[in-house]
Amino acid sequence: MCPSPYGFVPNWAAGTARAAHFLGAVQHPLLRARLAGRIGRGMQDICGKTVIVLLSGGLDSMVCAGLASEAGARIVALTVDYNQRHRVELDSAARIAGHVGAAEHIILPLDLRRFGGSALTADIDVPKDGPLGEASDIPVTYVPARNLIFLSLTLGLAEARRAQDIVIGVNALDYSGYPDCRPEFISGFESLARLATRDGDRGVDFHIHAPLQHMTKADIAAEAARLGLDAGMSWSCYDPTPAGLHCGRCDSCRLRSKGFADAGLADPTRYD
């Protein structure tokens, strides 16, 4: 058993009381069954290791950080300040990093507004109130090659910190259709990491953990609750209001809201 460096024993190793209590409270039988099979699996192999967590400040990355902490990893969190429209998420990332006991939290400036090409990095309107999950084209909120750029940065940080494990909160089910969230991208980058680094040349295997890859937003909201994380710490909205609220109408807001509703959980998000 590997105790967490943050003063508690991970659920997967020690105790099922909190997990069992949580599962009993989940209202949807299919969701409860999926979570029961998932709790305690997949993150055990990072116990005691330094792990680079890509922490945007969103719900998904918060759950990833919580899973890494629960598994007993030493967390080095990387947040990229890419001059995004929703820069309020940087404050959320700082709160989350402190909550999970990150040993180090780096906020790295990288101004992708110089590139533009996205509603998040240019003067392009964020779409509102469109159909979820039905668009045939990649939406304008896609930031060109963002996850490829970010994973390259986490890889560089991993090599500098002598770490082999990277955790990223990509999701291929309830998402907006971004190509850099697909499983093929994650596995391809893991192969690339072995070819592009000094440590890879020496036989080190880098592992890209995407524990939310095949989870719905309902699963992710429920996992946040199971971990005892306050989802209100996280930020999802692409187009915050002047009052600092989630707009409630962009794809990200509506996917978030739907996830809590489908999980039968109260949504702590403050919407306009």
Please state the residue numbers annotated as binding site for Zn(2+). 237, 247, 250, 253
Exposure of 74 by Cβ count < 10 A (0-12 exposed, 13-18 middle, 19+ buried)? buried
- Please give the single-letter amino acid code of residue 53: V
Q: What kind and span of H or E run contains 150?
A: helix 146-160
Helices (H) and strands (E) in the chain, counts: 10, 5
β partners of residue 189 = none
CA distance to 4, 37, 231, 235, per residue, from 215 (Å): 25, 12, 17, 19
Annotated binding site: 55-65, 237, 247, 250, 253
52 SS3 class = strand
Annotated binding site for ATP: 55-65
Characterize the bridge pairing of strands 165-167 and 104-109: unpaired
Instruction: Give the C-alpha separation, 64 to 56, whole Å.
Output: 11
CA 203 to chain centre: 28
Phi, psi of 76, rounded to the nearest 5 degrees: -110, 110
CA distance to 83, 200, 231, 243, per residue, from 61 (Å): 18, 26, 11, 24
Q: Hey, what are 186's tokens? A: 């994650």
Exposure of 242 by Cβ count < 10 A (0-12 exposed, 13-18 middle, 19+ buried)? exposed
